[in-house]
Amino acid sequence: MRASVHRLGMAHPGDLSQLAALFDSGVVDPRHVVAVIGKTEGNGGVNDFTRGYFTLAFSALLAERTGRRRGEIVESVPCVLSGGTEGVLTPHYLVFSRDPAADGPAGGPKRLAVGVAFSPPVPPEAVGRQTHVEMVAAAVGQAMRDAGISDPADVHFVQVKAPCVTAARAQEAAARGASVLTADSGRSMAYARVAGAFGVALALGDAPAGRLTEAAMFRDYDIFSDRASISSGVEVACNEVIVLGNAAGWSGDLAIAHRPMKDALDIGGIVAALDDLGLAAAPQLVPAAAARVRGVLVKCEPDRRGLVRGNRHTMLDDTDINAQRHIRGALGGLVAGVLGDGRIFVSGGAEHQGPDGGGLIAVIAEI
């Protein structure tokens, strides 16, 4: 197969006009669209309904163009949105499509491979617990098979959208005699992210299975996957998984590379990821090189120790601005400065996703 990636802008969270234009021109076959990852200008919190707004508009457009039921699309095409476009970040979305008729040459170089999977619905009482970890790991394995990736080393980025516990879901569980880990939706989102990170680490072998336990969550930060990007929200009931890697048998001119970011100032990690794809930032990509970039995916976390390279930061102590909004704005500016482009997927909440106090960056580009 051949994977294609289109990075599109939006005038508002329900604006799919650029994608509709690609359908109209024949550049993208709507039947080949398999996943979407994007940024909206919502607050990124529990009550960020811009994510659901985009998903509704996207599924309606795809249903119109393919003749499929909207519900069928919602259940088969992962649509992962992250709210928060602070600073120079630009609202945008990446559309991933696969052409099944474009076979790669036998023994050819590895090219971008895309696989998707959906877990069964996650019961509210399972969110953030060991069962959740195992459900994510199983879905990641399924997405790898969908991408034709057998070697975990060929995986460079795993995006998971996991459900969280709402008040209604907590009450539903209680009515069945079950108890949730936490009824606080914000805290539930954090636990869901950690369960997702542990599930990715389990599937890819980034940590021994015996260490990926509930007891290690939010405690043993030496356990992490620098290929896991986990979001959580009220708009999903199961784990939606997108696996991106490089694999033989795929054609085209796209590849993906990733690097861990050790902290919020790790410009070297950004440069190294670009260098892996033959892109030199000195100090910023020249326009011709920047034009080869199809997508940039970043996960970040305010350092919980309150320091960045030995100097105090106040992100965790600001009553007026949430810490995740601080870090998205900061990392967005750092990465955009190197790329010369604000169309960057920057998602906060990186617990056990990359080094503690840091995160990860993945870049998709023409090679």
Give catalytic residues, as residue numbers: 161, 231
Strand partners, 290: none
Tokens of 156: 């460079």
Beta strands 155-163; 228-233: pairing state: parallel
217 and 194 Cβ atoms separated by less than 8 Å: yes
CA–CA separation, 214 vs 211, rounded Å? 9
Please give the DSSP secondary-structure letter assigned to residue 138. Answer: H
Short-list 361, 322, 345, 348, CA closest to 40: 345
Tokens of 3: 């994977």
330 and 301 Cβ atoms separated by less than 8 Å: no
Please give the DSSP secondary-structure letter assigned to residue 199. Answer: H
Local structure of 288: helix, strand or coil? helix
Short-list 316, 352, 45, CA closest to 214: 352
Percent of the chain that is helix, strand, coil (3-state, to 5) = 35, 25, 40
Distance, CA of 49 to chain centre: 18
346 and 41 Cβ atoms separated by less than 8 Å: no
Residues 76, 237, 323, CA angle at the centre, nearest 5°? 110
Q: Concatenated DSSP letters for 186-212?
A: HHHHHHHHHHHHHHHHHHHTSS-GGG-
